[in-house]
Structure 1
Amino acid sequence: MAAPLSLALLCALCAILAWIDIRSGIIPDWLNLAIAALGLLKITMTGDAYAAIEAVGEGVVIGVLFWLLRRLYFSFRGVQGLGLGDVKLLGAAGIWVGIAGIPLVLLVATMTALACVGVLQLSGRALTAQTSLSFGPFLAAGLLATFVLQQYGF
Structure 2
Amino acid sequence: MPADLEFAGFFVILCLFGGVLALIDIRHGIIPDWLNLSVAGLGLARAVTVGGSVAGIEAAGSGAAIGLIFWLLRRLYFEWRKIQGLGLGDVKFLAAAGIWIGVAGLPILLLIAALTALAAAAIMQLTGRAMTRRTSLPFGPFLTIGLLLALVIQQIIGAI
Match of 2:149 in 1: 145
- Give CA deviations for 1:68-105 in whole Å, capped at 9, x if unaligned: 00000000000000000000000000000000001110
The total of aligned residue pairs comes to 154
Structure 2 match to 1:21: 25
Mapped to 2, the partners of 1:42 and 1:127 lie a distance apart of: 40
Please provide the CA RMSD for this pair: 1.1
Which structure 1 residue ranges, 5 or more long, are not aligned?
none
What letter corresponds to residue 101 of structure 2 in structure 1? V
- Corresponding residue for 2:73? 69
> Which runs of structure 1 show a deviation greater than 3 angstroms over 4 or more consecutive aligned residues?
none
Deviation at 1:152, TM superposition (A): 2.5
Give the whole-Å Cα distance in 2 for the aligned partners of 1:138 and 1:23. Answer: 14
For 1:42, the aligned partner's letter is R
Q: Residues 48 and 54 of structure 2 are in contact (CA less than 8 Å); yes or no, is this contact kept in structure 1?
A: no
Once residues 59 and 46 of structure 1 are traced to their aligned partners in structure 2, the CA distance between those partners, rounded to angstroms, is: 17
* 6, 21, 41: which one aligns with 2:10: 6
Please report how far the alpha carbon of residue 46 of structure 1 lies from its aligned counterpart in structure 2 after TM superposition.
1.1
| Alignment TM-score, normalising by the size of structure 1 | 0.98
Greater displacement, 43-52 / 83-92:
43-52
| 2:111 alignment partner, one of 97, 107, 112 | 107
Aligned twin of 1:90: 94
Q: Which structure 2 residue ranges, 5 or more long, are not aligned? A: none
Asked if 1:123 corresponds to 2:98, the answer is: no
